[in-house]
Each structure stands twice: as structure tokens, then as C-alpha cells.
């Protein structure tokens, strides 16, 4: 019970100050790309957590969230109107080429084999569909300081400095290398004093 409460409470805090300052850019990028989608588009929120990024768009788009954490999905079903599925991003329970847009936000760094997850996401994305991937820039000195001070002393049980929590640590070159295996890069941005990397790609035939 304590782990369930912690996981949900930690994710809720991302929308509250001071964590909200860091996560604001993610909400901005998602809003901008959704504004370019047709009403009713099928959108996958991959590793959706408690669905706090995409929940506000459920009335205009068909939001599908997937996560391995049952407690997070229970929260989503209780609080949001999207469809939420428990599953493994290495083996997605969806047919080929079914999603118009995929959002993979602050999650890829948690995977020991991220290219396998990217391959699966590419499989379920329609040709011409786009994917948004964001992750931490581990070449950024400011992030290094933040991670080893804020997260070490005030981050609760979320020890991001541990390789068990973030086994794959991205810089610009590595993120582009992994993503470009499956998508054509549309744009690449560094936000929040270059601490956060945003890759937007398109699936080509």
C-alpha cells in the first residue's frame, strides 16, 4: 500500500511547484503537437503513469494509455475518461499501424532495452504518424547538479541518480541514434536550460 501511495503521490507532484517548473515544457510540446492533430485522432500515451499529461485532451482525442503499473492505471480509470491498458512496451497489445500519434514522455530512460520499445512503438504507429519522445539530457551539468542534490535529498524514494532507476542515460547523440533507426526526425529541441531533450519523429514507409 505504501508503494502504491508513493508512486501516485510522486507523479501528482510533477504538476506542483517546484517540479511543475521543470515539467511545463513537456505540457507545452504536447499541447502544440495535439493542436496539429485532427479531432478524434487515436493517441497512445506510452508509459502513461497517472495520465496527468494527456487526460485534459480526452474530450477531443481518443486517448489510450498503457503502463505496467496497475495502481497508476486504476487511478487513470477513476479520474479520466480515456482508455487505459496494462501492458509491456516491449510487446504492445495493439495491431500494426493503428495510432495517429504516440507520446513517450520521460520514460525511455527507464528501459534497459529502449530500442526494442521504440521498435514496438514504430510498429503500432501509422505511416506519416508522429511520435514525441522526451528525456533527460545527461550531458547537462545543471541536470547533474539537480539530480545529485535535489533528488538525492528531497526526491523521496525516486533516486534518479541510481542506474537501477535510469539504466539508459541519454545525450543528444544517443537519443538521435536510437530514434533515427525507426523514425525520420522532424524536430529536435533542448528545453528547460537544455536539461530536457525533445525528439519529434515521423514514421515513414
Ordered structural domains, the chain, with CATH: 2-202 (3.40.50.150)
Of residues 122, 144, 142, 141, the one with CA closest to residue 133: 122
* DSSP H or E run through 96: none
Tens place of pLDDT for every residue, the chain, 205 residues?
455 566 788 788 888 887 888 899 999 999 999 999 999 999 999 999 999 999 999 999 999 999 999 999 999 999 999 999 999 999 999 999 999 999 999 999 999 999 999 999 999 999 999 999 999 999 999 878 877 776 666 555 566 656 777 899 999 999 999 999 999 999 999 999 999 999 999 999 8
Burial class (CB within 10 angstroms; exposed 0-12, middle 13-18, buried 19+) of 1: exposed
Amino acid at each position: 500500500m505504501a508503494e502504491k501511495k508513493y508512486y501516485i503521490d510522486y507523479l501528482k507532484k510533477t504538476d506542483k511547484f517546484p517540479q511543475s517548473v521543470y515539467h511545463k515544457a513537456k505540457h507545452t510540446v504536447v499541447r502544440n503537437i495535439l493542436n496539429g492533430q485532427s479531432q478524434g485522432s487515436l493517441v497512445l500515451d506510452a508509459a502513461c503513469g497517472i495520465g496527468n499529461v494527456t487526460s485534459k485532451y480526452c474530450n477531443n482525442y481518443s486517448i489510450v494509455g498503457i503502463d505496467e503499473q496497475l495502481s497508476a492505471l486504476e487511478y487513470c480509470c477513476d479520474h479520466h475518461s480515456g482508455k487505459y491498458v496494462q501492458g509491456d512496451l516491449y510487446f504492445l497489445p495493439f495491431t500494426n499501424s493503428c495510432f495517429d500519434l504516440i507520446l513517450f514522455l520521460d520514460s525511455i530512460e527507464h528501459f534497459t532495452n529502449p530500442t526494442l520499445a521504440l521498435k514496438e512503438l514504430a510498429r503500432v504507429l501509422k505511416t506519416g504518424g508522429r511520435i514525441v519522445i522526451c528525456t533527460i539530457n545527461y550531458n547537462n551539468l545543471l541536470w547533474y547538479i539537480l539530480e545529485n542534490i535535489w533528488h538525492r535529498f528531497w526526491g523521496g524514494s525516486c533516486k534518479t541518480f541510481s542506474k537501477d532507476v535510469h539504466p539508459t542515460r541519454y545525450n543528444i547523440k544517443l537519443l538521435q541514434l536510437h530514434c533515427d533507426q525507426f523514425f525520420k526526425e522532424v524536430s529536435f529541441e533542448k528545453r528547460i536550460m537544455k536539461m530536457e531533450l525533445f525528439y519529434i519523429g515521423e514514421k515513414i514507409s
